[in-house]
């Protein structure tokens, strides 16, 4: 983002290019995982393929593991009554 601003390029185009770059440890980009296709961009890419189930499953497992460790340090919110401040 900073480089796009400094070089006076379109920030939306920079974000589009960033979202089309594959994630580390995964063959597909975030755009491919969300939309099941590649987005149109000026960067040459390989042929558009949908994300395989194994990639989706590994992403879900990674997110579940992250949620598990995050939830270890949380506690339930006590019930709020009308007029209570958070």
Q: Give rounded-to-5 percent helix, strand, coil for the chain.
A: 45, 0, 55
Model-wide pTM > 0.85: no
Residue count of the chain: 86
Q: In this predicted structure, what is the pLDDT of residue 15?
A: 73
Average per-residue pLDDT in the chain?
A: 77
Q: In this predicted structure, what is the pLDDT of residue 63?
A: 94
Q: State mean pLDDT over 41-69.
A: 75
Q: In this predicted structure, what is the pLDDT of residue 43?
A: 61
Sequence-separated (6 or more) residues with CB below 8 Å from residue 80: 86
- Specify the DSSP class assigned to residue 23: P
Q: State mean pLDDT over 35-64.
A: 72
> Degrees (nearest 5) of the Cα angle 49, 25, 70?
115
Q: In this predicted structure, what is the pLDDT of residue 16?
A: 73
Instruction: Find the radius of gyration of the CA atoms of the chain.
Output: 19
């Amino acid at each position: 983002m900073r480089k796009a601003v400094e070089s006076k390029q379109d920030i939306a185009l920079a974000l589009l290019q960033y979202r089309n770059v594959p994630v580390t440890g995964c063959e597909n980009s975030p755009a491919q995982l969300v939309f099941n296709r590649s987005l149109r961009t000026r960067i040459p890419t390989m042929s558009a393929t949908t994300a395989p189930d194994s990639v989706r499953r590994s992403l879900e497992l990674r997110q579940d593991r992250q949620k598990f460790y995050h939830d270890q340090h949380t506690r339930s919110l006590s019930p709020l009554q009308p007029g209570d401040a958070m």
